Amino acid sequence: MVKKKNRKRIIQTVARKLVTSVNTKSIVSEQFRTLRTNINFSMPDKELKTFLFTSSSPGEGKSTIAANAAVVFAQEGKRVLLVDADMRKPTVHYTYHVTNTTGLSNLLTRQANLSEVLKDTETENLQIITCGPIPPNPAELIGSQTMDKIIVDMKEKFDVIIFDAPPVLSVADAQILANKTDGTILVMSSGETEKTEVLKAKEALLSSSANILGVVLNNFELSKDHYYYQYYGNAE
């Protein structure tokens, strides 16, 4: 009985995280489609394929935002890859309920090739790469020339590559990877993230020549008289 309850709890948690997959008509799903549109039009004269999602501090929801963004891009018909580049506290394997025996760390240490670490999902056109065994030197691996080659290989196979990176102010990984990707999206939690932390994160990203596309305000509660409720009614 306990196992059944735990299993149900896991399924419900995943469903909440991947709202764009389980409830495509919800207000939240529509917001993610708006995010997709904003990213597509952020730099109309330049093709953007690699995106980094990060936050200033832990617990702001950047992994959930990255996972749902990957889903809506796949729903658009693009070949999408979601990469768990948080090789300190990985979560993508929990979100998609897959094993984490092999992943990005195996790629970076040349113990596997790209095709060997790709994992399918229930969403058409979307594949993921989990973190893999947590290495002792994530920043060095991410900053290596091997990482540059891996990104090139990913671009040949996929239309959109989304990296879920650690918080900017915690470790250097996000800054390093932001320099290697086409665009960076900073996630902040409404009513929780301190303004000073966001400004520090922005400065850190700019110092690494990151192309900051914008900010996602997470956990913002809409009032019942908001125009989204008036238009969509009880769609959620």
Question: Which residues does the chain have with pLDDT short of 70?
Answer: 1-16, 191, 219-236
pLDDT at 224: 53
pLDDT at 17: 80
CATH of the domain at 7: 3.40.50.300
Q: Cα(137)–Cα(139) distance, rounded to whole angstroms?
A: 6
Task: Give the chain's domain count.
Answer: 1
pLDDT at 147: 98
pTM of the model: 0.86
pLDDT at 207: 96
Strand order in the sheet with 50-55: 119-120, 126-129, 80-84, 160-164, 50-55, 183-189, 212-218
Residue 149, domain extent: 2-232
Q: Note whether 31 and 226 are within 8 A (CB).
A: no
pLDDT at 209: 96
